[in-house]
Amino acid sequence: MKPEVKSGIAAISLKGRDKGRVFVVLCELDADFVLVANGGLRPLSRPKKKRRKHLRAIGHELPSLAASSDLTTVTDHDIRMFLKPLQDPSHQNPA
């Protein structure tokens, strides 16, 4: 059973120019759309509106965001640190 795309969960983009990038779902707008951010190219100040069907939840949850819908307690840095271990190694620069 695949995880549901809901607030606070990490998800991979399946379509669009951000395909393959990992995001955190910030909130649900309606049955079809959610707002996502990754703390870098998509900061909390400028989240992306994305269709649920274009995201695949990967089952990791950001506890501070999932526990409450208050986005003021979460920072871009928190999101980046949460998503860092979930990034695909092929997207990272070789050291």
What is the rounded distance in angstroms from the CA atom of residue 36 to the CA atom of residue 42? 8
Any idea which fold 9-88 has?
Answer: SH3 type barrels. (2.30.30)
| CB distance 8 to 20 below 8 Å | no
> d(Cα 52, Cα 62) in Å, to the nearest integer?
18
**60 contacts: CB under 8 Å, gap ≥ 6:** 9, 10, 82, 86
The label of the residue with tokens 């980046």 reads 80
Predicted pLDDT at 91? 46
3-state secondary structure of 61: strand
Taking the domains of the chain in order of start, what are their residue ranges? 9-88
Please state the pTM of the whole predicted model: 0.82
Q: Averaged in consecutive runs of 10 residues, what is the pLDDT profile of the chain (95 residues)?
A: 82 94 93 94 94 92 68 84 79 43
